[in-house]
Amino acid sequence: MDVLADQIAKHFIEIDQIVMADIVALTSINGIGPVKAKQILAMLELHKAWSSPSKLPLVVKKSQDALTYFEALRFLPHEEFHVLYLNRAHIPLSCQSLFKGGITGTVTDVRIVLKCAIAFGATSMIVAHNHPFGALKPSENDKRMTKKLNEACLALDLNLLDHLIVARSGYFSFSDQGLL
């Protein structure tokens, strides 16, 4: 087993790299087949679950409170778009992973985001997506999508409270930066 641990340590320089590994990356290591790779991925999922906060905020008052709902985004090797739906008192109703994309982007359908808000009886929401390779600065597409979503929310008397961009190095809040 020490030989296999050495092989893994040589292949992945930092812990973040193994946490983001997929079955292809793991099976490229000598001594790891598909079954062993799936076992390692299962252990990594347990690590993520055990590392996430066990006590989530009952009321979301600021971006830092919302971030705890989006921690899983930090370690994904592809982009995902999640939404935290809140009631009038900013108590979370549901946190949904709505869209999955590729390494450099994901398509976000505003209609689906709003349809879910109505289904959950939400009055406000916080959206988040990740940048897998660390850039915390919002792209022009991020800004356009946020504006489009905010305008659609206003038409339905919903509040878009924030848009977070999550990366391993930290997060960016549109609201904290005065962009929303």
Please, which residues bridge with residue 24 across strands? none
* Per-residue pLDDT tens digits for 115-148: 999 999 999 999 999 998 878 899 999 999 999 9
pLDDT of residue 3: 78
Mean pLDDT score of the chain: 86
In percent, the amount of the chain with pLDDT more than 90 equals 44
* Per-residue pLDDT tens digits for 58-78: 888 888 889 989 988 988 888
Q: Which residue has the higher pLDDT, 2 or 177?
A: 177
Decide if pLDDT at 18 tops 80: no
Domain boundary assignment for the chain: 2-51, 63-173
Does pTM top 0.85 for this prediction? no
pLDDT of residue 105: 79
Q: Which residue has the higher pLDDT, 88 or 48?
A: 88
pLDDT of residue 53: 54
pLDDT of residue 44: 78
pLDDT of residue 86: 94
pLDDT of residue 154: 95
Question: Residue 171, Cα to own-chain centre: how many angstroms?
Answer: 10
Strands 80-86 and 159-167: unpaired
Give residues with Cβ within 8 angstroms of 72, minimum separation 6. 48, 52
Q: According to CATH, what is the number of the domain 63-173?
A: 3.40.140.10
Decide if pLDDT at 54 tops 70: no
115: buried, middle or exposed (CB in 10 Å: 19+, 13-18, 0-12)?
exposed
Question: Comparing C-alpha atoms, which of 99, 118, 107 is closest to residue 156?
Answer: 118
Q: How confident is the model at residue 52 (pLDDT cuts 50, 70, 90)?
A: low
pLDDT of residue 120: 93
pLDDT of residue 125: 96
Spell out where the chain has E strands: 80-86, 92-100, 124-130, 159-167, 170-173
pLDDT of residue 169: 87
